[in-house]
Structure 1
């Protein structure tokens, strides 16, 4: 039984991305720095065994082992010891939804390929062994080939090999993907040319007589074969000859017929990767063929997959888990409940969950909260001036010469995903819906085609990633609301369909079909279908919204963030305070993140871009000027040559947002200084264009169009060719960056003081001006950060105010952000109850510029922290006087003044004028100061 008591709650986490270039030993060496910075827990990316060369760890192939590319067991234990010596706990990113497949590293997957439906693991992967495609009956599609199967076979890139260690045969594609031959067919390989091979071949053919020990008997025979090959040269030569007889000669397809015949009898069918869109018969992570979905609802699989992680929880190595892609699971709530019940002790638990604007995290989930996507967008929204929306919309529409509403873009993108990359899953759902319909005469005439059209439109109209109907209780009000909405919208869009099909699907998705006894429908079939649709709608939303629409709708890309809502321009102060108050009440320990490995832009890139919302007219003039200069130089005055106007508009925003701080305000840069940045921009633009899927895609790159965009980019960033552009660009860039860093400080202060548990993404204690991954996973210069932190400690101890003012003046190096981070982390360490349990009280500002001030009070017992932050730095620059703007902040009993944690200044109680409290910095962090200076 798990231990009773509350779970340990981290004070603050620091995300580390493990990969071959950042190993357990590297993390161990960081422990003293992280402890000095003030965090309590390392938040580790997945470090269980993954596919070789994995840069992220989400393609796990063995839940029971550490990733050997990160170090051995001794290195891992040394890291754990280093963390403990420095007072650091661990939260691990755990992946229950899927595993890495392909290659030759996943033993479960290889066993399924070898034995098909008879494999002990066949039910662990979410495989449809009874698809409509007759050629896949009882087979698993393996769509890993880069060309058509016949072309790859003819080229000799598919060949049979013998494994002398295991005594097994397998087909290898490209020398990378192992496709085992079923032992039942070994006789065809071994032949009759050698007596020992003939004897063993006959024994392999007789395996069915060994039920239920077929697999064990096969392993015995394979071991015997391996022993003979190892001990006898004649057997070894005979096996080599047998393999050679089946392998053909490259370039002559007819010589590969025997191997092709053997392949046709296997439990797998290998194919071109594009075949997956139509015929895939296993659930994937989104549309990634190399990530196969797991049926984690199975108790045996759950126990096996969590055994090692539970051992790390039991011995105290881990104190928390972050559950990746919880919406991919068949039953997220059931999984989380089982996780709590089966774990050996209480632990901190957060889930990666993207919430729609109207959606709340389910309160019956036994978690501390989400990983903070909604917080990142909330705090950015506070920095976006809603007054700029009309101007931005007009400029965007005029520049790209027409723009459709965001909602239409999302729907179109979701439909495109369902018609292309995820068509097979939709076909399967329509088939299953038709099978349910045929269970009752009233619905027996709904054809698969009709149901597929209706389902496609319903999923395209879903306002959330998924619902959580599970058949155990009646659907919640929230689930009914979202299903009702999707059905209603679909009815309006698909008027050619008889309304009765939507009535049927409505009752099917809500499970109302079996709400009454003697319905005529199988309860199991209905509930299973509703839950499978939920597993489908999430990936469609993710691929359609995050990975397509976010790269097409470029009105203001600071808002195009995971969990964001690009059609909602800014967050009002009342809405901001309401969201924080609700978190304080319901999810006080939810993770607060502003940068993650998944964010489209770095936190300070977004904070800088937020400044543009305050100057839509200036922005409009600038982009028109830049475009005229660059296109005129290319002889494209009409603006019709690549890139298209939408990609060009994105380019300017990324250029402005990510321009390196060290190159800001330093005059015309040298070409060499821009080379690294230009390379980063090229990577971001190629990814953006391919994700948008308008002119080019990952599957079919349009190199001519891409080179047109990249040529445009290279010219813009070459001082010798585009001096006129840079002369026009740099002054505006310097102004936006100088104002944007103030937003960056406010964003950091809010993350570290609002209700919740803050996370710092690796390296983001200094400026994070990154672009989309892999740019945001670049190596971090920790030697620099160690040195800066030591220097800061000395400077702040000498004279806090002078040091902070100096850092404000020299903002380019990011020291001000690190000083702010370290100061607040130290305060969190000194006052843990204030942040873990403290209340949240919004404070309304008064005066002419009240909307430019965000203030709130955190309190616990006698402890207080008053936060006052400035919004809209461009407005403040244009009119610096705060006038009568003030915040009413009475001092608690026994306090003589407020003291600013950042500068050490003392301020009187009662009414605090903005002029006084924000005289030095864009944010003030005030604590009560007693007569003794406490």
Structure 2
């Protein structure tokens, strides 16, 4: 087993190629990292910065360094003792530029007779492939263009093949188009008439049929060669919930990847466990992120923020209502084509009733999917809730759920894929931009219904993690997080500053001019978490956030008036003297407790049960917001310079203190992995004991400060609090030595965190 002690995520792209990553391996080793963790590297759509739109799964992307860059990276990493972990994307392929995807081009050319037709999840019975690419000029701009290999249909920059024997000189464009295995249509028909499975609501990502063993082998050929040649030590599997049968997929992957460390981007909802039958080592860490976020939030702030959202913002809906509404909208507005495909699989039931029933069951399902027969009780619970919501549909629901519970039924297999898309689009990408009581909680895999977590609950969660997922990845930031880890750390302080924060939020909401006051509340909180970052970055965030919220505007039909309100409100926070002054005063109060939270949550994540990942650049303070903001280039030169540190720097705006904590923790995990094999709480006593979170991993003790603002204001510091230590311990962060009952003032004399080993 090649399980790493830690990973460091790099976003490989044309501006940070595999060769560039090879040049960073010495830095990563000095930082204490055990494995370089790469975003997808197979050939992606030209210009793709993320790589999740693979167009050719058989080759390494030339724009990312190609085969030569791959060899250079692997050789450099292994020469320095670094493992290599690779992100792979089995669920879909990119089709926005058909000519760049050889398999898709062949399918467009030859239809269901193509050798690659089995690759894609296409409903051929519904007619030719529906391609929603045309604008308002439609067929008027379509033309036939002769090429060296024959001829093509062209629509502006878009190219489509012409099947052999379907074009002769003198044929009209309309006649040629009518003879193809596809039909070009207006872009707005994508959500309603599509006849191929896509990734969520993204029509430019076509679903792949990994349930077919031949397709599985063909689309994984390059990855399996990497494994056979010893190039990779671990795999991160993107979006397994999109597959018909994730368990079967992981069985096949494990058989080909013996000894590799495998994690899956599986979003676990509150109370959900990873299926025991999956042959993987855990998730990619959103569940761990939620546990860490929660323990640094003061539960005492819940009433204030709940009342504020209801009375001053005017939002009477609770989270459950927002989620139900968001998921219902996703099923009916974003995903009706998928819902209609399901409906056609039960032709003996009334179609309209089936559509309504499918929408309601998916909206009430509390997890992404139920993996029937595993988790079948969640499916039945959703059906019960659907009957209560729509009593008139009870007979249809009764008959439908019998089929949805049958794992061999086609409608059940496809419903699993549908419900996951409904959850992702309806909750994370919609409800979490609307239910803005406390946005620090509105994160991927988060649980905004829970407002904070006490240390004893955290310890129970960590004990379960140690028992069931000791090799699962843990994360604080990813390429998909809505707000960066240090933004969330600062937002957590708002729960402690509640009586000071809400007046400014009220003023901002009132003066913003934004008709959606809940969205104004979100924007105000983000200013408090991120601070006065570069104005253009905040404008970009606001644009994405309001379109995701899908209340006053949307991606497909932007409302110019509403968007102007939001952008004016952004400028107001920067330009209005009184509003800006109030914001700056709050930011000054948030700064130091925010730093304490940042160091605390980082040290917890790096030392808790599981394998910690450091997302690129987050070894320094990170003020990133949602993608693509969190995928900005990283200044590695500045980080390299900090490797020269020989003693713990003081905490300041440079982030050097965070760098030091990260480096010392990663080095300890790599060099003394024997100290991280168990989990036991270390419980402080005294007046302020609940402000101290500590645990022993089997020889290494982590101790951090929580709720730092109220620690200083409510109890006049640590008072009589002590942390019991048996024997003598040395803090690897500062070198300080502690014995027996230790006062936090001594333990945290330099940093509000400590990492102890027996001296």
Contact 2:516–2:552, Cα closer than 8 Å, also in 1: no
Q: CA RMSD in A?
A: 1.5
1:299 match: 213
Which of 6, 9, 21 aligns to 1:15? It is 9
Contact 1:626–1:728, Cα closer than 8 Å, also in 2: no
Offset of residue 710 of structure 1:
0.7
Offset of residue 392 of structure 1:
0.6
Residue by residue over 1:296-350, the C-alpha shift from the partner in whole angstroms, topping out at 9 and shown as x without a partner, is 011111111111111111222111100000110000000000111133x421100
Distance 1:915 1:785 in 2: 30
SS in 2 for 1:813: coil
Residue by residue over 1:557-583, the C-alpha shift from the partner in whole angstroms, topping out at 9 and shown as x without a partner, is 110100001121112222211111111
Does 2:362 align with 1:459?
A: yes
Which of 680, 690, 714 aligns to 2:537? It is 680
Residue by residue over 1:472-519, the C-alpha shift from the partner in whole angstroms, topping out at 9 and shown as x without a partner, is xxx23xx1220121011101100122x2222212211212xxxxxxxx
1:129 match: 124
Does 2:717 align with 1:886?
A: no
1:140 match: 129
Distance 2:580 2:397 in 1: 57
2:622 match: 768
Offset of residue 917 of structure 1:
2.1
In structure 2, stretches of 5+ residues that fail to align are none
2:145 match: 161
Distance 1:886 1:173 in 2: 72
1:116 match: 111
1:410 match: 323
Contact 1:44–1:93, Cα closer than 8 Å, also in 2: yes
2:586 match: 732
Residue by residue over 1:535-590, the C-alpha shift from the partner in whole angstroms, topping out at 9 and shown as x without a partner, is 10001100000111111111111101000011211122222111111111111111
1:197 match: none
Distance 1:47 1:294 in 2: 18
Distance 2:636 2:515 in 1: 38
Contact 2:443–2:481, Cα closer than 8 Å, also in 1: yes
Aligned runs of 1:572-721 on 2, under 5 Å? 572-627=454-509, 630=511, 641-659=513-531, 677-718=534-575
1:276 match: 190
Does 2:638 align with 1:819?
A: no
1:228 match: none
Aligned runs of 1:472-483 on 2, under 5 Å? 475-476=373-374, 479-483=375-379
1:545 match: 427
1:340 match: 254
SS in 2 for 1:924: strand
Does 2:220 align with 1:315?
A: no
Distance 2:499 2:177 in 1: 65
Does 2:403 align with 1:508?
A: yes
Offset of residue 626 of structure 1:
4.1
SS in 2 for 1:91: strand
Contact 1:552–1:646, Cα closer than 8 Å, also in 2: yes
Contact 1:626–1:729, Cα closer than 8 Å, also in 2: no
1:364 match: 277
Displaced runs of 4+ in structure 1, greater than 4 A?
none
Distance 2:452 2:562 in 1: 34
Distance 1:464 1:626 in 2: 36
Offset of residue 853 of structure 1:
1.5
SS in 1 for 2:580: helix
Contact 2:505–2:525, Cα closer than 8 Å, also in 1: no
Distance 1:460 1:350 in 2: 27
Distance 1:184 1:299 in 2: 33
Distance 1:289 1:692 in 2: 20
Offset of residue 627 of structure 1:
4.6
1:82 match: 76
Distance 2:103 2:73 in 1: 30
TM-score w.r.t. length of structure 2: 0.97
Offset of residue 912 of structure 1:
2.7
Contact 1:684–1:771, Cα closer than 8 Å, also in 2: yes
In structure 1, stretches of 5+ residues that fail to align are 1-6, 132-136, 190-241, 247-257, 439-445, 470-474, 512-522, 632-640, 661-673, 797-802, 892-896, 930-934
Offset of residue 86 of structure 1:
2.1
Contact 2:12–2:40, Cα closer than 8 Å, also in 1: yes
Aligned runs of 1:61-460 on 2, under 5 Å? 61-103=55-97, 104-131=99-126, 137=127, 139-147=128-136, 151-154=137-140, 156=141, 158-164=142-148, 167-176=149-158, 178-186=159-167, 189=168, 242=169, 245-246=170-171, 258-343=172-257, 345-434=258-347, 438=348, 446-460=349-363
**Aligned pairs, how many?**
757
SS in 2 for 1:535: helix
1:232 match: none
SS in 2 for 1:457: helix
When Rg is computed on C-alpha atoms for both structures, the one with the higher figure is 1
Offset of residue 399 of structure 1:
2.5
TM-score w.r.t. length of structure 1: 0.79
Distance 1:127 1:480 in 2: 28
1:834 match: 675
Residue by residue over 1:696-728, the C-alpha shift from the partner in whole angstroms, topping out at 9 and shown as x without a partner, is 11111112211221122123213xxx1222222
Residue by residue over 1:824-846, the C-alpha shift from the partner in whole angstroms, topping out at 9 and shown as x without a partner, is 111112202223xx110112222
Distance 1:414 1:146 in 2: 28
Distance 2:220 2:344 in 1: 34
Residue by residue over 1:401-445, the C-alpha shift from the partner in whole angstroms, topping out at 9 and shown as x without a partner, is 2331111111111111111110011111112123xxx4xxxxxxx
Distance 2:488 2:106 in 1: 47
Contact 2:694–2:704, Cα closer than 8 Å, also in 1: yes
Distance 1:74 1:852 in 2: 52
Aligned runs of 1:719-798 on 2, under 5 Å? 722-790=576-644, 792-793=645-646, 796=647
Contact 1:643–1:712, Cα closer than 8 Å, also in 2: no
SS in 2 for 1:839: coil
